[in-house]
Structure 1
Amino acid sequence: MGSTPAQTPSIEKAMDGAVAVLTLTHRPYNLIDKALVHAMIDALQWALDQQARAVVLRSGLRHFSAGADLDAMLADTRNSDVLDWDLVDLLNAFDEHPAPIVAAVHGTCVGGGFELALACDLIVAAASTKFGSVEVTVGLQPLMGGVQRVAHRAGAARAKEIALLGRRYDAATLERWNIINRVVADEDLDTAVMVLAQELAHGPSVANTATKRLASLAVSHGIAATDAAMSELQRAIFRSEDFVTGVNSYRENGIGQAAFEGR
């Protein structure tokens, strides 16, 4: 967490086949402020407009993100006890995006940067990455859903430990605690993430969207409510071309050979 002179936030947007690649280049450390929150929401909308079937969130700088812009936060809360940065809107944009979102993390990923990664569906990290909820060191607590998302992934005890102590953790530890999905050698990060993203993008997109919805429902409302919602969420799957394609491919070629079109 730190501060930097105000500048227009930058997120580079590109399509790699059906994968939308969103690259944070908000120098020097991808510090989060209200403008970057809105830029991130706009970037996710851009990916939706491109009909991306998977999304990668990465950094083009030395670090993934060093957290929030503290100077901007102080200024924006000087006359208010509410931080009006539309953080919940950003979390909703991640959660409601139909395509799976993969965070490719390297360098430092702390504070709001850690929470940005946690908002993604999957996290792949370079082995040398350092993670942490360090807000307590400046008299704060995680402001963008970090406590609850770590609690869901690793339990309340780990969430309290990480937020209350404000320490930094290596990627292997967080993988062991089930907070991140995969750790790879630093030099393999980009390749590993794109292989995973392309696999997701070539999957049955309608079914993948339903999977995201079910997982979110289970976290928010529990198993019984999610079970009750399954039939409605599955209607679109049974109407999809990919379901027909998958069944026909299974009959003709065996499992795992279907060429899905995302429809």
Structure 2
Amino acid sequence: MAKPPHNLLNGSFIEDLLTAFEDAAANGARAILLRSEMKHFSAGADVDGFGADGKDGASAVDVLDRFAAIPIPTIAAVHGLALGGGFEIALACDFIMAGASSRLGLVETSIGLMPLLGGVQRVVERAGLARGKEIAMFGRRHEPELLERWGVINVVVADEALEDASRSWAQQLAAGPTVAYGAIKELAGIASNQGVRAADEAQEATANTVWASEDLKSGLESFAESGPGTAIFQGS
């Protein structure tokens, strides 16, 4: 992301971001690393762009559905501030890696608002009801180590290591079994949204795409020939 000065979000910015994600997946990318070229990951919403009803662009449900439908792994690498909608964009990714000096929070209550891009429910999903209410109601800027302990983000690294560490994760995922990763994302989404029972019922059908994949074929062949961890996956 590179929208001066602080990657403030509005409808067109989010649409451009989603289109970039969708185009990357459609054109054969096997992982997406979302990072910022600015001082901050994103300082939140461009409130000047809101309409009289507080809306700007597509509905939140549509935006979140499109993020969830990205079939490849997505990683948010956070430095500086990730506040309000900026934090919510990170929460819409599969993984969040944060630099040690970063600060993240749902700060909308400071202006009398509530998170509008799925932040409350995604923190509840990751860390439970009590933490979801706490993070959204108090509107604090949290140290990433705390959010890591709560299970809201995946890992904290030294600021100077963030670029290399996040790229390493992206490269590992991009070299992995893409079809299996897509199936895992789908099944995890069903479990989160509909419950474990629904995921159990969907598992066999979801796994069928993996059984038919070239990645599994090459993985089994490599395992038989030279043991585990030697397969080279092509993402198909």
| SS in structure 2 of the partner of residue 53 of structure 1 | coil
Query: Shift of the alpha carbon at 1:253?
Result: 1.1
Q: Which residues in structure 2 correspond to 1:102-117 (within 5 Å)?
A: 102-117=75-90
Q: 2 CA distance for matches of 1:45 and 1:143?
A: 22
Pick from 13, 18, 22: which aligns with 1:41? 18
For the pair 1:83 / 2:55, whether they are aligned, the reply is yes
Which amino acid in the other structure matches residue 16 of structure 2? A
Partner of 1:12: none
- Which residue in 1 is equivalent to 2:39? 62
Structure 1 unaligned regions, length at least 5: 1-23
* Structure 2: gaps (5+ residues): none
Deviation, 1:88, is 2.2
**Is the CA contact (8 Å cut-off) linking 1:126 and 1:186 kept in structure 2?**
yes
Greater helix share, structure number: 2
Aligned-residue offset at 1:118: 0.1
Question: C-alpha distance in 1, partners of 2:160/2:194?
Answer: 40
Amino acid at match of 1:191: D
Q: Deviations over 1:190-228 (max 9, x none)?
A: 100111111101111100000000011011100001111
Q: TM-score, normalised by structure 1?
A: 0.87
Q: Deviations over 1:98-153 (max 9, x none)?
A: 10000010000010000000000000110100011100000101100000000010
Aligned-residue CA RMSD in angstroms? 1.0
Distance 1:251 1:218 in 2: 33
Kept in 2: contact 1:148–1:159 (CA 8 A):
yes
Q: TM-score, normalised by structure 2?
A: 0.97
Q: Which amino acid in 1 is paired with 2:24?
A: A
Selected match of 2:133 from 155, 160, 164 = 160
Distance 1:219 1:70 in 2: 31
Report the Cα distance in structure 1 between the residues aligned to 2:72 and 2:215, rounded to whole angstroms: 15
1: distance between equivalents of 2:11 and 2:168? 32
5 Å-filtered alignment, 1:11-50, equals 24-50=1-27
Equivalent residues of 1:106, 1:126 under 8 A apart: yes
1:130 match: 103
Aligned residues: 235
Q: Does structure 1 retain, via aligned residues, the 8 Å contact 2:120–2:136?
A: yes
Deviation per CA, 1:222-248: give whole Å up to 9, x if none: 000111111111111111111111111
Instruction: Give the aligned partner of residue 151 of structure 1.
Output: 124
For 1:246, give the aligned amino acid: G
Cα deviation for residue 255 of structure 1 reads 1.0
1:169 match: 142
Q: Distance in 2 between matches of 1:257 and 1:59?
A: 34
- Aligned AA (1:48): A
Structure 1 Cα separation of the partners of residues 28 and 39 of structure 2: 30
**What is the distance in 2 between the residues matched to 1:43 and 1:89?**
16
Report the equivalent of 1:52. 29
CA distance in 2, matches of 1:230, 1:45: 25
Q: Which runs of 4+ in 1 moved over 6 A?
A: none
- Aligned: 1:225 with 2:207: no
Supply the AA of the counterpart residue of 1:99: I
Which amino acid in 1 is paired with 2:134?
A: E
**Distance in structure 1 (CA, Å) of the matches to 2:155 and 2:79:** 12
- Work out whether 1:214 is the aligned partner of 2:187: yes
Give the conservation status (yes or no) of the 8 Å contact 1:205–1:262: yes
Q: Percent identity over the alignment?
A: 47
Deviation of the 1:84 alpha carbon:
4.5
Question: Separation in 2 of the partners of 1:57 and 1:90?
Answer: 16
